[in-house]
């Protein structure tokens, strides 16, 4: 099926011919290369603890070579960045839909998190030195990165609570102390740079200026012995090697003097601004990949229903199954439209002005897809929770999206507060309605 037939009509006319071609190429690349490579990828991950975190499955480089041949590389860098292919967020969102069906798809096209968000920060705020040292090799797929924000025992969804400190000593160098965890990508042997959200001030009058994003050479920090990669954390039982979601501690780690001129991103005290800039498009990327995950899960569910006999009758002929399947299709379409609308709103304005649309998509999509994956596991029975089908791993990843980049409750709370500000206008609307009613009654 052509991708033109899978794009909602209201958005189809907003896609350029070049964008449409890339979306079709992405779908074909995922179907022909990435999905068949997923099983090989997992088979190539070492089960030896000594090498599990030091080797990357070779199939990834094979896929990356093919993706570059097809021109499917760094598609997430939108028209706002000269460093990328300059597709719109809407166009890339439709590509991410297909990439989300495969585990290897995002990395194969250099569109995997957290590198996408980190590259956007470097592209938007980085100095020429920072871009040359880190952005260029990231764009080329030569190194990986991690964003260190979340902290153990801290409500990190509110960035004002971040406590890892960066204080300047007598030499004028930052000294870091604190513990970060769930640093996705930090376990990868290619991870060369950490972007760290640190507290650099304690100004009670300007709390949103107390934090700074520092750019730290990851390998050099670990070699010092004062920055330690403590462990990879498991996500519902998966360690996600060699990518990892790691706990990292800093004990009097002093930024080397030669790094100090280039360690701050955008300026001291701009950390809150930077993470907000990073998270807007990133949430759209996550949601669009989740849409793809849900669509792939439904295909697996249909395949299972075609062959599972329940009390002498195929599951695909049972009304209860068909009703649930049809409802799941509706649910995915609802989320699909929410996400595409948010992506388009970013394109025609910016992420800040699209805050309402982004929040709705971020709240609704992961929980809807999680429900579908949970149902899929139930349809498969015991096999659904095993490693023999993708559903358990997909569920683990998708379930974390309801926490990552802000939990449901934080987004719902912010959305509710913003909507509540309109209550006064609603009163005025009905007051005018009543006034008009009285006038009409006199005729």
Regarding whether 177 and 126 lie in a shared domain, the answer is no
Residue 438 in any domain: the answer is: no
pLDDT at 190: 98
Regarding whether 378 and 333 lie in a shared domain, the answer is yes
Regarding whether 129 and 31 lie in a shared domain, the answer is yes
Regarding whether 196 and 118 lie in a shared domain, the answer is no
Task: Point out the domain boundary residue: 265, 298, 322.
Answer: 265
| 222, 233 contact by CB (below 8 A) | no
- What is the DSSP annotation of 54-97? T---THHHHHHHHHHHTT-SSTTSBTT-TTS--B-HHHHHHHHH
Residue 119 in any domain: the answer is: yes
Regarding whether 242 and 155 lie in a shared domain, the answer is yes
Regarding whether 261 and 277 lie in a shared domain, the answer is no
- By the 10 Å C-beta count (0-12 exposed, 13-18 middle, 19+ buried), 215 is classed as buried
Residue 425 in any domain: the answer is: no
Regarding whether 278 and 398 lie in a shared domain, the answer is yes
Residue 433 in any domain: the answer is: no
Residue 333 in any domain: the answer is: yes
Regarding whether 368 and 238 lie in a shared domain, the answer is no
What residues of the chain score a pLDDT lower than 50? none
pLDDT at 189: 98
Regarding whether 68 and 205 lie in a shared domain, the answer is no
Chain-centroid distance of CA 432 in Å reads 45
CA distance 339 to 409: 19
Regarding whether 284 and 316 lie in a shared domain, the answer is yes
Q: How far apart are the first and last CA of the chain?
A: 59
Total domain count, the chain: 3
Task: Point out the domain boundary residue: 143, 175, 206.
Answer: 143
Domain extent, residue 396, equals 273-418
Whether the full predicted model's pTM is greater than 0.75, yes or no, is yes
Q: What are the φ and ψ backbone dihedral angles of 291, each rounded to 5 degrees?
A: -55, -45
* CATH code of the domain covering residue 162: 2.40.110.10
Under DSSP, the state recorded for 234 is: P
Residue 430 in any domain: the answer is: no
Instruction: Report angle CA 321, 361, 135 to the nearest 5 degrees.
Output: 120
Region at 110 (left for phi over 0; alpha for psi -120 to 50; beta for the rest): left
CA distance 412 to 51: 43
Instruction: Report angle CA 289, 246, 109 to the nearest 5 degrees.
Output: 35
Residue 256 in any domain: the answer is: yes
Chain-centroid distance of CA 157 in Å reads 15
* CATH code of the domain covering residue 116: 1.10.540.10
Q: Report how far apart, in Å, the C-alpha atoms of 402 and of each of 157, 366, 371, 399, 419 are.
A: 12, 6, 12, 6, 21
Residue 437 in any domain: the answer is: no
Regarding whether 137 and 13 lie in a shared domain, the answer is yes
Q: Report how far apart, in Å, the C-alpha atoms of 105 and of each of 2, 19, 69, 91, 334 are.
A: 19, 18, 15, 17, 24
Task: Point out the domain boundary residue: 143, 158, 182.
Answer: 143
* CATH code of the domain covering residue 384: 1.20.140.10
Task: Quote the crossing angle between the two packed helices 35-44 and 59-69, to the nearest 10°.
Answer: 150
Regarding whether 394 and 311 lie in a shared domain, the answer is yes
pLDDT tens-digit series, residues 51-72: 999 999 999 999 999 999 999 9
């Amino acid at each position: 099926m052509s991708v033109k037939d899978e794009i909602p009509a209201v958005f189809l006319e907003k896609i350029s011919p070049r964008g449409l071609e890339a979306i079709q190429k992405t779908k074909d690349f995922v179907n022909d290369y990435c999905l068949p490579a997923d099983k090989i990828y997992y088979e190539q991950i070492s089960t030896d603890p000594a090498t599990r975190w030091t080797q990357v499955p070779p199939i990834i480089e094979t896929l990356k070579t093919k993706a570059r041949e097809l021109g499917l590389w760094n598609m997430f860098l939108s028209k706002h960045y000269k460093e990328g292919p300059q597709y719109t967020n809407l166009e890339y969102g439709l590509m991410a839909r297909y990439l989300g069906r495969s585990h290897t798809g995002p990395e194969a096209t250099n569109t995997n998190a957290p590198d996408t968000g980190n590259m956007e920060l470097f592209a938007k705020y980085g100095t020429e030195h920072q871009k040359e040292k880190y952005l260029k090799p990231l764009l080329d797929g030569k190194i990986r990165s991690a964003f260190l924000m979340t902290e153990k025992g801290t409500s990190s969804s509110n960035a004002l609570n971040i406590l890892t400190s960066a204080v300047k000593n007598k030499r004028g160098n930052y000294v870091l102390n604190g513990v970060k965890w769930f640093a996705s990508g930090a376990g990868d042997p290619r991870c060369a740079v950490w972007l760290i959200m640190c507290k650099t001030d304690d100004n009670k009058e300007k709390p949103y200026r107390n934090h700074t994003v520092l750019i730290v050479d990851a390998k050099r920090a670990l070699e010092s012995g004062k920055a330690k990669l403590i462990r990879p954390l498991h996500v519902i039982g998966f360690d996600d090697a060699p990518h990892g979601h790691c706990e990292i501690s800093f004990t009097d780690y002093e930024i080397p003097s030669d790094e100090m001129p280039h360690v701050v991103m955008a300026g001291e005290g701009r950390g809150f601004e930077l993470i907000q800039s990073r998270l807007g498009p990133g949430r759209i990327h996550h949601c669009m990949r989740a849409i793809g995950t849900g669509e792939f899960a439904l295909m697996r569910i249909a395949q299972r229903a075609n062959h599972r006999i329940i009390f002498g009758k195929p599951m695909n002929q049972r009304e209860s199954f068909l009703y649930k399947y049809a409802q799941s299709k509706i649910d995915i379409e609802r989320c699909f439209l929410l996400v595409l609308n948010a992506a388009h709103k970013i394109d025609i304005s910016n992420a800040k002005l699209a805050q309402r649309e982004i929040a709705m998509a971020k709240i609704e999509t992961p929980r809807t897809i999680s429900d579908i994956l949970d149902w899929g596991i139930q349809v498969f029975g015991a096999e659904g929770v095993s490693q023999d089908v993708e559903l358990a791993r997909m569920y683990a990843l998708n379930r974390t999206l309801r926490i990552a980049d802000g939990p449901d409750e934080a987004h719902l709370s912010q959305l509710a507060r913003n909507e509540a500000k309109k209550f006064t206008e609603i009163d005025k609307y009905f007051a005018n309605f009543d006034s008009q009613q009285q006038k009409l009654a006199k005729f």
